[in-house]
Amino acid sequence: MPETSKISVVVVDDQPLFASGMAMLIDAQDDMSCIATASDGRSALATIAELTPDIVLMDLRMPGLNGIDATREILRHGNADDRPRVIVLTTLRRDDIVVQSLEAGASAFLTKDATTEQMLTSIRTVHSGDSIPDLATTLELVAEMGGETSAARQHETIDALSPREREVFLLVARGLSNAEIARAAYVSEATVKTHIAAILRKLDLRSRVQVVVFAHKHALVVV
Question: Domains in the chain, start-ordered, CATH in brackets?
Answer: 3-128 (3.40.50.2300), 148-217 (1.10.10.10)
**pLDDT value of position 150:** 45
**Using CA atoms, how far apart are residues 93 and 90, in angstroms rounded to an integer?**
7
Across the range 21-41, mean pLDDT stands at: 95
Say what the pTM is. 0.83
Contact between 197 and 83 (Cβ < 8 Å) = no
The fraction of the chain above a pLDDT of 70, given in percent, is 89
Phi, psi dihedrals of residue 216, rounded to the nearest 5°: -70, -40
32-38 and 85-90: which strand pairing?
Answer: unpaired
Given a contact cutoff of 8 angstroms between Cβ atoms, the answer to whether 56 and 9 are in contact is yes
pLDDT band, very low/low/confident/very high, at 165 (cuts 50, 70, 90): very high
Interval 169-212: pLDDT, tens: 999 998 899 999 999 999 999 999 999 999 999 998 888 888 98
Query: Which of 12-16, 129-133, 146-150, 193-197 is predicted with the least confidence, judged by mean pLDDT?
Result: 146-150
Torsions phi, psi for 85 (to 5 deg): -100, 135
Q: Do 66 and 180 meet the contact criterion of CB atoms below 8 Å apart?
A: no
Looking at residue 27, its pLDDT comes to 97
The pLDDT confidence band at residue 2, using thresholds 50, 70 and 90, is very low
Which residues partner with 37 through β-bridges?
A: 11
Cα dihedral 65, 67, 72, 78 in deg (nearest 10): 90
DSSP 84: P
Q: With pLDDT > 90 as the criterion, what percentage of the chain qualifies?
A: 52
Whether 173 and 145 have beta carbons less than 8 Å apart is answered as no
